[in-house]
Every structure is written in structure tokens, then in C-alpha cells.
Structure 1
Amino acid sequence: MGPVPNVTRADVAHFARNPLAYIAERWTPTQRTVRTAALVSLVMTVVIVVTGGAVRLTGSGLGCPTWPKCTDDSLTATSEMGFHGVVEFGNRLLTYVLCAAVGFAIIAARSQKPWRRSLTRYGWAQFWIVMGNAVLGGIVVLVGLNPYTVAAHFLLSTALIAVATATWQRTREGDAPTRPLVGKSVAQLVWVLTGVTVLLIAVGTVVTGAGPHAGDSSDVPRMDVGAVGLDWEGVSKLHAVLAWIVVTLTFALWFVLKAVDAPRGPLARTRDLFLVLLAQGVIGYVQYFTDLPEALVAAHMLGSCLVWIAVLRVALSLRERPATASEVPARTDAELSAV
């Protein structure tokens, strides 16, 4: 048994004043640890989006009818609330798991040597988006699953995925100024692809908000797409058209990258995007022609997250950011174990 560390009153005061700095002084994570922490945060973001969809698809959206408590008298789900209460409260608990994952990513980024302030800021951006979305999720419950608030809840989760993806990418880069790997015209094509993908996801929330899965067994109002001269099938077809535009742009981008002899990274990321789009398209058409079975809708929500991540990875692959001369590589696990 090793010696017990001597914790002084000054140490306690230092931790209370700045806990992140206190931990950073005593722990140096490896580069792999920092990358893994960022990846876990991204994975948990996708998980909570999919489980949030499961809450809606099982009709458990009002399993906990109030917020922040589950009922007026209980913080947790009660036995009388049955299956729906368990599902909704379980999804709320996953928010704490997500917060823990984001928190660990922040601590790992802050403790890395040398300290990369930009990476820590990315972590904090994730944290505040999570907090904002938790409040918005409470509003969704309090307004009885209003479809517009549900759509906003999903779109804010999409923004969280974007920041988490960028954070993961930054852990694989240095802090030197970016250097483009392709020409300006190729970069502009990718920006168009990204913009159409955002529109595709936004229209997808309208399809969901106007569709039959209201999230609860009671009479929850749906989005009134008829106000703009469309019906649910019309919005679904618009969503499909946007999906085909994204596929076409991806296919065109791959040929352009081959024509300009682009580096391997952008080509590989574009290929990955095309494969994800292909799988997502198959799921989308099958669910449409089979009257939206819950399992396929959930798979389509997962596919939406993966498409968004793949598009972002394409955009981020168009430049490189090498390490600066002042950056010192983090110690390896073997070096740390030898200390």
C-alpha cells in the first residue's frame, strides 16, 4: 500500500477555486485518452438522440408528465406510471451520462500538455448546448409535445453533434493555422453539400412533426403543413428530392476530387458519406412504403445522425492543421506507467 497523499488546506482551497487547473497540475492524459474522451462524447450524443426518438416512437413522450420532476410529487418514475414512465425517465437519466462524457472530455482537454485552449472551448461549447437542450426538452414536456418544440429539440441536438464532431477532429490535429488541401471551387462545392444537408435534416423534422408518430397515445397536434399548400406525403417527397440532391452532390464531389488528384483523406471521407447515404436511402424508402414501422423510423434517425457526421467529416477533411513548433507530444501510457 502506497503512502497516503498529504492534502493540505491550500490544496482544498485551490481545488475549490479552480478544480480543472488543480486536476491538470496532477494528471497528464495521453493523446489517445484525449481522443477517446472526445469520441465517447460524440457517441453518447448520437445515443441520446436515438433514445429520444425511442421515447417518441413508444408513445412515452409524456411518461413523465412534468419537468424537472417526473411527477408533481416524485423526482423519479413511479410503479404506477408503468412502461412509459420508465422509458421517459430512463432517457432523462441518459442526459447525466452525456454530461459526464462531455465533462470528462473537458477535463482531458484541460489536462493535456501543453494546454490547448481551443480544444477546451469546444468541450465547454458542448456542455452549454447540452444544458440548453435539457431545458428545451423540459419545455417540450410542459407544452404537451408541441411538434415545433420537438423539432427544435432535434435541431439543437444536430448542432451538438456538429460541435462534438469538430471536437473529435481537433483532437487529431495541431494548433497551427489551417492549410487547404483542395482548391476553392471544390471547397465551395462541399459548402453547398453541407447547406443542402442542413436543409434535408430540417425538412426531415417537418416530416416527423406532421407524421403519425406523435410521441404519446393522447391526441397530440401535428404540424399543419397544409398552411403552406402541402400535405404529409408532399413534404415526404420534398425530403426525398433533397436526399437525392445530396447523393448527386456527393457523387459529383467524388469525381471532382479524383479529377484534381486530391489527397486520400477527402476521397476516403467522400466515399464513406456515399455509403452512409446509400444505407439511409434504403431505410427511408422501405419505411415510407411500409407505413413507418417504429423500428425503421428509429434506424432512420440513427442514419440521419451518421449522415450529418459524415458530411461534417468531408468538410473537415479539406484542410489540415499541423502541430506548432511549441507543441510537445503527450506522454505515452508506457512512459506514464514508468513514472
Structure 2
Amino acid sequence: MVPVPNVTRADALAAVRNPLALIAARWTPTPRTVRRAALSALVMSVVIVVTGGAVRLTGSGLGCPTWPKCTADSLTTTSAMGFHGVIEFGNRMLTYVLCAAVGWAIVAARSEKPYRRSLTRLGWAQFWIVMGNAILGGIVVLVGLNPYTVAAHFLLSSALIAVATVMWQRTREGDGVPRPLVGKPVQQMVWFLVLAATLLIAVGTVVTGAGPHAGDSREVERMPLDWETVSKLHAVLAWIVVTLTFALWFVLKAVDAPTAPLARTRELFVILLAQGVIGYVQYFTKLPEALVGLHMLGSCLVWIGVLRVLLALRERPEVVADLPGPSAEMTVGTRA
């Protein structure tokens, strides 16, 4: 008979106070599992943006007219609320799926051996961004889809994608001191690219706030700006990002840069071309909902692509832990 281990009151209290430590003590995920967990959180952070766009583009932004309940008397959608209620409530439920994905990433990172504090912190940063954005989403509903709060909601989602991208990258490298793979001028050029992409996303939210897709079937306040002018500014910034990406690829080829920065830059250039085609087609076809939704997905992919270019400019080697006791040579000699 296998003896049953005694569980003391102190052990039980420790498990309640720090369940992650309890899981980590009993489970060691493979590096592949940790990478998949981080990738799942990144994928869900993109999915929640796209489905949020679907809520707006179908006019379902106030399908649930209040928050945190769906109606004053019901936590969930009702049959009387129809299609719009289902869409809005379904998007709210996806927040729990996102939380589950982020939670899995945190648990996997906390349980990895050796323990990597920086990786766990990136997971927790995603959790708190999700919580903050959930509250902000509720405020968006309570203020009747005010375009400024909608813009802030999207920008916070972009911050979530950024952190999730960094965590995914960090699961595939060590914790050593970063070693640059390119020179200072190239690094500065990429930071200009990141800045231009950030401005592109920010102006994109203004295009949305001033544009015709208000998110609800009734009259909703729009930003008091000329939509055509803002759209042209958005296009100029897009061309700046494309030009910087092409110039970066040319410079990396000229300095015989390593494979990783070149590959990431090439991938970003392809994404930008596809996004540009979608952007111009939707502009000249008066913003059909399907293309606007596809453009939102492209925006997320562009942002991820830019960040991956930045992260590819350096490498982090594995940190070799010091082994306690006799050295490896002494151990081998003793065994011999």
C-alpha cells in the first residue's frame, strides 16, 4: 500500500495563498508548452480585437445597453434583444477565453524550470491590461460609445498585443544580457519605424472615431474632424512605415545582417503591402464592413510584425547556472 502523504495545515494555507507555487512544485512544462501558452495569449489578444471590430461594424455596440449586466434585469442577452444582443454578449464572453489564455501563459511561465521572473511578469502585465480594458469596455458602453473611449479601448488592446508579442519572443530565448546583432544606426532606424507605426495606429483610431461606422444603429457622437483629411494623414503615415521598412531591408542586406532581422523585415514588408491594398480598396469602395474588419486584423498583424523586427535586432543567450559542489571535471574524474 502506498502511504498517503500528510498534508499539514501550513501546507494547505500555503496552497491557498500561492496556488501558482503549488502548481510549479508539481508540474514542469516543456519549453514547447510554454511557447504555445504564450502564443495562445497572443492569438486571443488579436481575436478579441477583431471580434470587437465585428461588434462595431454590425451596429451591435449597444446590443447590451448596460454593464456589467447585459440589461438592467438580466446578466445575459435575451431573445428580445435579437442579433445585436448576441453579438455584443458573445464578445463579452470571449474576454473570459482571453483571460483563460493569459492565465495558462502565466501558469506555464511560473512553472518553467529554471524559474524566469521576467517571463512571469510579462504574463501578469497582460492580465492587468485585460482587466483594465474590460473596465474601459464597460465605460465605453455606459457613455454610449463615445469615440474617444472607443479609441482608448483599441489603443489599450494594442498595448496588450505588444506585451503578448514580447512574451512570445522571450519564451524562445534565454535570460542572458542582450547582444545586438546590428549597429547603432540600424537600431535607431528601427526605433523610428516603431514610432511611425505607433502614430499610424493612433491616427487609425481617429479615422475610426470620425468615420461613418459608429458602432450602433442609432445616432452616435463622432469626433469633430474631417474624415477625408484624417484618412489622408493615415495614408501618409502608412507610406512612411512602408518606406522605412523597405529602406531597412536594403540597409540590412548592405551590411550583411544576420538572417533573423532580414527575415522579420521581409515578412513585415509583405504584411504592409497586403494591408495597403486592403486600405485603398476599402477607401474607394466607401468602407464596406467586411474590408474594414479585415483591415483591423491587418493592423494587428502590422503591429506584431514591427515589434518582431525590433526584437530580432538582438539575441539573448541562455544563462548557464553554476552547479553546486565539485566541478564537472572533478565529477567526471571521480566517476572514471
Corresponding residue of 1:263: 258
Corresponding residue of 1:8: 7
- Equivalent residue pairs, number: 322
2:246 counterpart letter in structure 1: F
1:51 counterpart letter in structure 2: T
Corresponding residue of 1:100: 100
- Structure 1: which 5+ runs fail to align? 226-230, 329-339
Corresponding residue of 1:171: 171
Q: Is residue 2:185 matched to residue 1:185? A: yes
2:92 counterpart letter in structure 1: R
**Structure 2 CA distance, aligned partners of 1:296 and 1:40?**
25
C-alpha contact (below 8 Å) 1:114/1:327 kept by paired residues: no
Deviation of 1:318 (Å): 0.1
> More relative contact order in 1 or in 2 (CA 8 Å, sep 6+)?
1
2:280 counterpart letter in structure 1: Y
**Structure 2 CA distance, aligned partners of 1:5 and 1:66?**
51
Could you state the TM-score of these two structures normalised by the residue count of structure 1? Answer: 0.93
Q: Report % sequence identity.
A: 78
Corresponding residue of 2:48: 48
Matched ranges for 1:327-338 at <5 A: none
Deviations 1:55-109 (A, max 9, x none): 0000000000000010111111111111111000000000000000000100000
RMSD of aligned residue pairs (Cα, Å): 1.5
Corresponding residue of 1:306: 301
1:245 counterpart letter in structure 2: I
Give SS of 1:65's match. coil
Corresponding residue of 1:111: 111
Deviation of 1:326 (Å): 1.3
**Structure 2 CA distance, aligned partners of 1:296 and 1:281?**
12
C-alpha contact (below 8 Å) 1:147/1:221 kept by paired residues: yes
Name the CA shift for 1:19/1:289 in 2 (closer, same or farther; >3 Å). same
Could you state the TM-score of these two structures normalised by the residue count of structure 2? Answer: 0.94
**Structure 2 CA distance, aligned partners of 1:4 and 1:145?**
61
2:7 counterpart letter in structure 1: T
Give SS of 1:192's match. helix
- The 4+ residue runs of structure 1 with deviation greater than 4 A are 2-7
Matched ranges for 1:231-270 at <5 A: 231-270=226-265
**Structure 2 CA distance, aligned partners of 1:85 and 1:279?**
33
Deviation of 1:9 (Å): 4.7
Give SS of 2:297's match. helix
Q: Is residue 2:256 matched to residue 1:288? A: no
**Structure 2 CA distance, aligned partners of 1:4 and 1:13?**
22
**Structure 1 CA distance, aligned partners of 2:208 and 2:137?**
17
**Structure 2 CA distance, aligned partners of 1:324 and 1:232?**
52
Matched ranges for 1:130-279 at <5 A: 130-225=130-225, 231-279=226-274
Larger Rg belongs to: 2
C-alpha contact (below 8 Å) 1:39/1:168 kept by paired residues: yes
